Amino acid sequence: MPDIIISEFMQPSAVDDLRRDFDVHYDETLYKRLDELYAMGRDARAICIRNETEIRGAFFDAFPNLKAVGRLGVGLDNIDVPACQQRGIAVLPATGANEVSVAELAIAGLMMLVRGTTYFATPDVAAGKWPRGRLIGREVSGKTLGIVGFGRIGRHVARRAQGLDMTVIAADPHVPADDPVWARMGVEKVSFDRIWDSADALSLHLPYTPDTHNLVSAEVIARLKPGTILVNVARGGIVDESALAAALTSGHLGGALLDVYATEPLPADNPFQGVPNLILTPHIGATTDEARVRTGHMIADNVRAVLTGTIPDTAIV
């Protein structure tokens, strides 16, 4: 029976690193076959996953000797962290490995949407049409970006927005007003109310919790400035999707980029069919060649550390 099970995609070079020291079973579709996964879990001391493998409930019965869960990403929605802590299992997120990729997607979406429908004009232009009049957009320079959640990814977004001459404000109750990061980065800490009322664009970078469920509600969307751009590359469930679709259809909002959804993949009856000024991507923010390499090797190193008696600084124990 293997020492380490990898049930979803992991960078092959990182898998090879682990195989030099451990008996590794790697099958990137194993998460789809729970009976098979659980059958080989008895002796496993570590498992490496993305966001499809559920670490909760019956999983723990099948993995009685588990010491580490390597999360090839940062979201922990699919891991019962308290249950892991009770069992002495170290949870190892890939903290920092995909920040640049996620931040770049947020900024790219923002810049596209501020220009209105310009980037959706390819079929018309290729057909010989010249629809310049309806493609007049706006500049990001001089606009105010409101960042909701000023953690590591939010700060990457802030730096890039400042490089585009945007004014950046941020709301995060978990970052104290006296934290030196505010002055160091030149970002004003504000309330949620201030963000909703004054931002020209919103970028969400906070976890999904009961407190953040539908944080961007129908009421919040209604009070946003006309033409506001909304970017969510954080977690589904933070935005009221039906209210967002209605606000885009009515023209109240200027555009939105969503990379995450309350249900993934989207169900057939989702509210986004035919909605204008909307970019939908399939939870791809953290998935670039560079991020995959960084993530894979970080998790390989951290799993090795736990199995040889060292707890990494980023571990949740």
Catalytic residue ranges: 235, 264, 283
In the chain, alpha helices (H):
12-19, 34-39, 58-62, 81-86, 99-114, 122-126, 152-163, 181-185, 192-198, 218-223, 241-250, 289-307
DSSP state of 166: -
The count of other CB atoms within 10 Å of the CB of residue 282 is 12
Conformation bin of residue 116: beta by default, left when phi > 0, alpha when psi is -120 to 50: left
Alpha carbons 122 and 245: distance in angstroms, whole number: 24
**CA 252 – CA 297 distance, rounded (Å):** 44
202, containing H or E segment: strand 201-204
- Please report, as a single letter, which amino acid is at residue 216: V
Long-range contacts of 307-314 (CB under 8 A, 24+ apart): 307/3, 307/4, 307/22, 307/45, 307/46, 307/67, 307/68, 311/90, 312/90, 312/92, 314/92, 314/93, 314/95, 314/96
- How many other CB atoms sit within 10 Å of the CB of residue 190? 17
Rounded Cα distance, 100 and 90, in Å? 25
Please give the backbone phi and psi of residue 62, each rounded to the nearest 5 degrees, phi first. Answer: -80, -15
Contact 139, 114 (CB under 8 A): yes
